[in-house]
Amino acid sequence: MATAEQKPVQTTNLPLYLAERTDLVPIFIMGKRYDVPSTLTIQKAFEYAGYQLIRSCGCRGGICGACATVYRLPDSPKIHVGLACQTVVQPSMYLAMVPFFPANRAVYDLDEIEPDVKTLLKHYPELAKCMGCNTCTKSCPMDLPVMEYISAALRGEIEKAAELSFPCVMCGICTSRCPAELAQYHIGMLCRRLTGRYINPAAEHVKAQIARIESGRFEGPLRKLMAADLQTLRKLYVDREMEPHGADEMWEPQEKEFL
Amino acid sequence: MGYTPELMDLIKRCEKTRPERVARKKASIEFPALTLDERQDRLEKYHPDYRPGGLRELKVGPSKGYKLAWEFADTFEARSRVDPDKINLDEVHYDTDVLVIGGGGAGTAAALIAQEQGSRVIIATKLRHGDANTMMAEGGIQAATKGWKDSPYYHYLDVMGGGHFENDPELVKTMVTEAPKVIGWLENLGCMFNKWADGKLFTLHGAGTCRKRMHYAGDMTGAEIMRVLRDEARNRLKDIGVLEFSPAVELLLDDKGNCSGAVLYNLETEEYFIVKAKAVVMATGGSGRLHVQGFMTTNHYGATGDGLVMGYRIGVGVRFLHATQYHPTGAVFPEQAEGLLITEKVRGAGANLINIEGEQFVFEREPRDIESASIIRECTKIGKGVPVPGQAGKWGVWLDSPMIELLEGPGTVEREFPAKFILYKRYGIDISKVPMLVYPTLHYQNGGLAYNSDGSTCVPGFYVAGEVGGGVHGANRLMGNSLLDITVFGRLAGEAAGAFVKERGDVGTLSVEHVRRYHKELEEAGIETDRVSPMVLPDYGNPDVKQRQWTTTYVGTLR
């Protein structure tokens, strides 16, 4: 039932079998009233109400971005956002999940592009139209500084845009609210891939190790392990030299035969 | 929001014993660890894998006689959604070279490599592209990339030891030798791994590793890998088509016995589609949503083990599926965090596990299976679990995170565990001041379909990659080897499937005779059931609502 501080809600459309329940709160799923236990997340409230979720349900743990939800509370025009799997219902919330948004995504060949602002503007010319209204930041369910990373991208600070956008779950709410029609989360994705590929220094030790593997030097020792009996294998396992937890990066083991 | 007054009262008992526990820890006096014999005893008495009646023998199929959890057995001993008498295989709706079933990390890696072999690829996936357990993997990815201290030799030993030396040696060798290549490949695709200024990758220890070889991207390594692979697939949309909300429900063979496609089910329009393909890569992932023995899970909504039963019906056996990985510390309160993983690092940093009386009952750095068995024992046999508010018959134990602040200084919890700190803060719980309520949670399917090191199986044209396969991890996977498994074997399966496509002539006449044979075998084994599989989606529906759905028919969990 509506709590005292809430505006009274219409009760005539309440089914009789719910009339005696005191543990329920009304929520309005796409404008239609359902009465659900007050402890549920929006996601579980949908299921309680009788929906079999197909869209708008993914990891159920706050990382996949499938269940972006917009809602409003009585007496305020403010639109709130949240992930349905992480947000607990509130009495009289009006809500809709946004399972998909038709954002613009550029197709590119990572091998052929350069990590600069020209690349960003070529693939996402709308980037230049950002008017700095900050609606994207205010609408991010992950509380990311969306406008800040877009500004960084526009200044050509691709690495900064990559870092600021790193925890993005790509739910698309920012894009749905953007008056300049930017696809912030796709721009962030491009910045991150450019950073990972071109701006961060390459890991030379990985290439060196691949070359050693391809030279075949581990083939013999590995075959020997594969053929070893259980007792031998157990002994090798128990006796293997442990890198100490506090060891620094360049620590070297005593045994070098199998490196 | 926050803990209930009842729980706050119980927390006082935990706080009362905390100073003494912290003092002991500071003096390096640890709770006694179990001996190897005691460990075995605890596992046999309390680990869910050993629970009498928890497992049963399969009565049909290539692994007939094998004992596994009855939730799996139920999935295998069920009828297909496809009626062999009614299906019209003459009308093919999609024709492609490689059909990849599953749009997670393994499937997407397979699609990329198959495309590079010149194949046209379709990825059919149950939910959105990238909605998968890959996305949820936090910790990292193992690879022996640092030649001055590590090599595939040591990685091999660690994997075998973790899996109780039962792992398939050929698969392990393949995984550890391919591992550095995979890191190089991901780096080249633009994955933002954490690095030093000279480009050296950050690496950490994981449980059971002898060298620091866990590479990571913040605390969302899986999400970073998944979104990069997906982004790359989207750049190749001319050759890689993605059918979302279209899970496969049955495989197709041709008259020569080669795997030749699948039947897809469009979840939105409820149509079935027939895909003809020259090779199929099965990459449907794990099965936490089967809720083996009623456990909550850390897994994705779509993790219902669909690929297991589809592969089984065409004659591919299963192995190590009797072994399920329970992560000891899954959140049980508040409800919206249920099943959520609390990383092992919290115990590594010194937090004790505490019962309702405020007593420590187990050393906090026992292996995962021992830790889980001990928590279950405390809550069931000993009866000192903390009741979970609003959920009769459910218990948890305290994971005493505030200890970390006392041991390592104020602010440590927020600094070391930022994601969990923020998450709990949203629920009105400050984990630097109050403990977390936890219970073991279903985490990983150690076993699965039998496959070879190039992803091939006993059925020509049918390849397996990732969690749906079994063998590489033996009976117990180590942290950091699942992201490695999916990328290594995803790539190899894609490569082998692409090569097979080039060799293979035309696809013969499509057939579902294997379904007919399987149904007959069910009947002959005396299994009379209206169960259908694969499950596709778990059933979290409201039974009261279902009772009022007067004209609705359910096939399995779906209308």
- Whole-angstrom CA distances from A123 to A112, A116, B62, B168, B333 are 13, 12, 52, 47, 45
Compute the nearest-CA separation of A60 from chain B (Å).
Answer: 7
B94-101 and B121-124 as β-strands: parallel, antiparallel, unpaired?
parallel
Give the integer Cα–Cα distance in Å for B492 and B341: 30
**Residue A251 forms contact with B (CB below 8 Å):** yes
Residue whose pair of structure tokens reads 């109400």 in the numeric block? A49
Compute the nearest-CA separation of A230 from chain B (Å).
Answer: 7
Best of B127, B168, B171, B298 to mutate (most A CBs within 10 Å, chain A): B127
Give the integer Cα–Cα distance in Å for B436 and B458: 47
Please judge whether A205 and B192 are an interchain contact, meaning their C-beta atoms are less than 8 angstroms apart.
Answer: no
Active site residue B347: yes
Compute the nearest-CA separation of B254 from chain A (Å).
Answer: 32
The CA dihedral of B208, B212, B213, B216, to the nearest 10 degrees, is 100
Torsion over CA: B504, B507, B511, B515 (sign): positive
pLDDT > 50? residue B218: yes
Listed by number, the residues of chain A in 41-100 with a beta carbon closer than 8 Å to a beta carbon of chain B are 41, 44, 47-50, 52-55, 57-64, 66, 85-88
Residue whose pair of structure tokens reads 């390096």 in the numeric block? B28
Residue type present at position B269:
T
From the list B148, B153, B223, the residue facing A258 with the nearest CB is B153
**Residue A258 forms contact with B (CB below 8 Å):** yes
pLDDT > 50? residue A2: no
Exactly one of B47, B81, B230, B327 is catalytic; name it.
B327
Contacts (Cβ under 8 Å, ≥6 apart) of B224: A166, A192, B191, B192, B217, B218
Please judge whether A240 and B157 are an interchain contact, meaning their C-beta atoms are less than 8 angstroms apart.
Answer: yes
Under the banding of pLDDT at 50, 70 and 90, the label for residue B559 is confident
Cβ atoms of residues B352 and B475 within 8 Å = no
pLDDT > 70? residue A7: no
From the list B158, B199, B234, the residue facing A201 with the nearest CB is B199
DSSP-H helix ranges across B320-411 = 345-348, 368-379, 402-408
Please judge whether B181 and A48 are an interchain contact, meaning their C-beta atoms are less than 8 angstroms apart.
Answer: no
- CA-nearest residue to B167 within chain A is A226
pLDDT > 50? residue B142: yes
Give DSSP secondary structure letters for B250-308.
EEEEETTS-EEEEEEE-TTT--EEEEEEEEEEE-----GGG-GGG--BSS-TT-S-HHH
Cβ atoms of residues B467 and B482 within 8 Å = yes
A36: alpha, beta or left? (left if phi > 0; alpha if psi -120 to 50): beta
What is the average pLDDT across A131-149?
Answer: 95
Give the integer Cα–Cα distance in Å for B300 and B505: 38
What local confidence, expressed as pLDDT, does residue A38 receive?
87
Please judge whether A207 and B184 are an interchain contact, meaning their C-beta atoms are less than 8 angstroms apart.
Answer: yes
pLDDT in tens, B375-412: 999 999 999 999 999 888 899 999 999 999 999 899 98
Terminal Cα distance for chain B, rounded: 36
Task: Sketch the domain layout of chain B as residue ranges.
Answer: 5-30+328-442, 94-323+446-511
Torsion over CA: B285, B286, B288, B292 (sign): positive
Task: Sketch the domain layout of chain A as residue ranges.
Answer: 16-97, 110-199
What local confidence, expressed as pLDDT, does residue B343 receive?
81
Under the banding of pLDDT at 50, 70 and 90, the label for residue A8 is low
Please judge whether B542 and A201 are an interchain contact, meaning their C-beta atoms are less than 8 angstroms apart.
Answer: no
Best of B115, B116, B125, B128 to mutate (most A CBs within 10 Å, chain A): B128
- Contact list in B for residue A88 (CB cut-off 8 A) is 1, 334, 336
What local confidence, expressed as pLDDT, does residue A9 receive?
58
The percentage of chain B sitting over the pLDDT mark of 90, rounded to a whole number, equals 81
pLDDT in tens, B108-134: 999 999 999 999 999 999 999 999 999
Active site residue B205: no
pLDDT > 80? residue B93: yes
CATH 3.40.50.300, domain B5-30+328-442, yes or no: no
Helix axes B368-379, B36-46, angle to 10 degrees: 60
What local confidence, expressed as pLDDT, does residue B40 receive?
85
Specify the higher pLDDT residue, B219 or B133. Answer: B133
SS3 call for A29: strand
pLDDT > 60? residue A3: no
Give the integer Cα–Cα distance in Å for B36 and B366: 11
What local confidence, expressed as pLDDT, does residue B219 receive?
80
What is the average pLDDT across B57-73?
Answer: 96
| Distance of alpha carbon A121 from the chain centroid | 24
Give the integer Cα–Cα distance in Å for B30 and B543: 48
Peptide bond into B334 cis (omega under 30): yes
Q: At B401, which helix (H) or strand (E)?
A: none
Specify the higher pLDDT residue, B164 or A110. Answer: A110
Compute the nearest-CA separation of B215 from chain A (Å).
Answer: 12
Give the integer Cα–Cα distance in Å for B361 and A57: 38
Please judge whether A58 and B234 are an interchain contact, meaning their C-beta atoms are less than 8 angstroms apart.
Answer: no
Give the integer Cα–Cα distance in Å for A224 and B357: 52
What local confidence, expressed as pLDDT, does residue A162 receive?
97
Query: Does the interface predicted TM-score (ipTM) exceed 0.90?
Result: yes
pLDDT in tens, A22-43: 789 999 999 999 999 988 899 9
* B408-444 residues labelled b (16+ CB within 10 A) or e (exposed): eeeebbbebbeebbebbebbebebbebbbbbbbbbbb
What local confidence, expressed as pLDDT, does residue B349 receive?
81
Give the integer Cα–Cα distance in Å for B278 and B95: 9
At B123, list the tokens.
């990825």
Under the banding of pLDDT at 50, 70 and 90, the label for residue B139 is confident
Best of B426, B487, B540 to mutate (most A CBs within 10 Å, chain A): B540
Give the integer Cα–Cα distance in Å for A165 and B356: 42
What local confidence, expressed as pLDDT, does residue A1 receive?
40
Burial class, A238, CB count within 10 angstroms (exposed 0-12 / middle 13-18 / buried 19+): exposed
CATH domain A16-97 topology: Ubiquitin-like (UB roll) (3.10.20)
Best of A17, A41, A60 to mutate (most B CBs within 10 Å, chain B): A60
**pLDDT averaged over chain B?**
94
Helix axes A146-154, A158-165, angle to 10 degrees: 160
Cβ atoms of residues A59 and B131 within 8 Å = yes
Exactly one of B347, B377, B443, B514 is catalytic; name it.
B347
Cβ atoms of residues B355 and B385 within 8 Å = yes
- Rg of chain A (C-alpha set): 27
What local confidence, expressed as pLDDT, does residue B420 receive?
80
The CA dihedral of B442, B71, B487, A141, to the nearest 10 degrees, is -50
At B162, list the tokens.
């973790």
Closest among B474, B455, B475 to B465, alpha carbons compared: B455
What is the average pLDDT across B216-239?
Answer: 95
Q: Which CATH architecture has domain B94-323+446-511?
A: 3-Layer(bba) Sandwich (3.50)
Specify the higher pLDDT residue, B124 or B541. Answer: B124
Peptide bond into B410 cis (omega under 30): no
What local confidence, expressed as pLDDT, does residue B416 receive?
76
∠ CA B48-B49-B52 to the nearest 5 degrees? 80
Q: What letter does residue B335 receive in the DSSP assignment?
A: G
- Contact list in A for residue B268 (CB cut-off 8 A) is 54-55
- Contact list in B for residue A205 (CB cut-off 8 A) is 145-147, 200-201
User: Which residues does residue B473 pair with via DSSP β-bridges, in sequence order?
Assistant: none
What local confidence, expressed as pLDDT, does residue B510 receive?
98
pLDDT in tens, A60-87: 988 999 999 999 999 899 999 999 998 9
**pLDDT averaged over chain A?**
92
From the list A57, A250, A252, the residue facing B301 with the nearest CB is A57
- Contact list in A for residue B229 (CB cut-off 8 A) is none
Residue type present at position B65:
G
From the list B211, B212, B542, the residue facing A48 with the nearest CB is B542
What local confidence, expressed as pLDDT, does residue A10 receive?
57
Q: At B313, which helix (H) or strand (E)?
A: helix B306-313
pLDDT in tens, B261-305: 999 999 999 999 999 999 999 999 999 999 999 899 999 999 999
